[in-house]
Amino acid sequence: MENIKYSISGHESFYIREGWLTKGLEFIKEAQMNNSSDNPFSNNSIIDTIDELGLGVNMVKSLKFWLETFNLVSKGMLTRHAEIIYDKDKYIQKKETLWLLHYYISSVQDNSVFIVWRAISERLTKVFSKENIISDMELMLDKPVSLKTLESNFNVYINTYYSSKYESKDPENNIVSPFVKLKYLQFDDKTGDYKFRNVSYEEINPYIALLIFQGCMGEIQLIEFSKLFEYFRKYVKMDAYDFNLLLKRMQGLNLLTIDYAAGLNNIVIKKLDELEILGKIYE
């Protein structure tokens, strides 16, 4: 078993709601513009933050969790890429922003932080059920956790990407996650199974793909097609045909070169700074 400390809490059982990230970004940005040195989510400031945001205590804790998990806020300050998102798409309306944030939160599982994201990422290319994921989480944990807690984690993930026809009497619970717009996660009400759809190459901005590729490459300059394809599908489910089309599109933008010598299909990825990549995404 891997020596990993998994996170199974922090979201307070709230999935990210439409408008929450914007609310959080605006709040932090205003504090920065007022030259406030206090972390608005610190114990000393949390009461004032609750009043100003107009959310309940647990919702504010959840918002803090999501802002940090998406790497939009660190130590009460906007991160560099959050500043770009705030400037280019503050209301999180562009599909590019949603795919970008999807990558950021999905890559958290590489650091083994958020257990349900890690568990589902292992089944990204397969059909899976609630029972599958709960069983996987139980195997990943080094101590027993209540079924209620595991189900809560599973439901948070599902509600982040999928909205059912169920309507709660609580208006707050009727607000869907912005990631539902991607229509990425699908549910079969006959079998009770979930699956991710294959995404078209046209849906993925080439610079977002470059960001994902660079996460795979590290200091390596050259990689085989099959390895890059396998890595990419940890984050975006896409068939080989569309992946080839994505590579050709990126090649046309001089973001990579493909060496077909000896049938190896070796790929050389262009190295760009992350902030430069983010700027290109929104051009």
CA distance linking residue 44 with residue 48, whole number of Å: 9
What pLDDT was estimated at residue 119?
A: 87
What pLDDT was estimated at residue 5?
A: 59
163 and 61 together in one domain: yes
What pLDDT was estimated at residue 110?
A: 45
42 and 173 together in one domain: yes
Q: Which of 194, 214, 241 is the last residue of a domain?
A: 194
Query: Which residue matches tokens 């982040």?
Result: 160
What pLDDT was estimated at residue 63?
A: 92
Residues of the chain with pLDDT under 50: 1-2, 110-112, 166-169, 171
Composition of the chain by helix, strand, coil, percent to 5: 55, 10, 35
Write out the residue range of the structural domain in which residue 77 sits.
Answer: 20-194
Is 173 within the bounds of a domain? yes
CA distance linking residue 139 with residue 144, whole number of Å: 9
165 and 220 together in one domain: no
**CATH code (residue 227):** 1.10.10
What pLDDT was estimated at residue 42?
A: 77
Which residues are bridge partners to 224 per DSSP? 266
Is 113 within the bounds of a domain? yes
What pLDDT was estimated at residue 177?
A: 94
What pLDDT was estimated at residue 168?
A: 46
What pLDDT was estimated at residue 167?
A: 45
What pLDDT was estimated at residue 206?
A: 98
What pLDDT was estimated at residue 3?
A: 53
CA distance linking residue 206 with residue 101, whole number of Å: 15
150 and 236 together in one domain: no
Q: Work out the mean pLDDT of the chain and round it to a whole number.
A: 87
Is 6 within the bounds of a domain? no
What pLDDT was estimated at residue 50?
A: 87
Is 2 within the bounds of a domain? no
Number of domains in the chain: 2
184 and 246 together in one domain: no
110 and 146 together in one domain: yes
The CA-CA-CA angle for residues 155, 160, 166, to 5°, reads: 65
Residue 149 contacts by C-beta under 8 Å, 6 or more apart in sequence?
8, 9
Model pLDDT for residues 153-184, shown as the tens digit of each residue:
999 999 999 997 544 445 455 589 999 999 99
What pLDDT was estimated at residue 111?
A: 43
43 and 177 together in one domain: yes
Q: Which of 161, 194, 227 is the last residue of a domain?
A: 194
62 and 180 together in one domain: yes
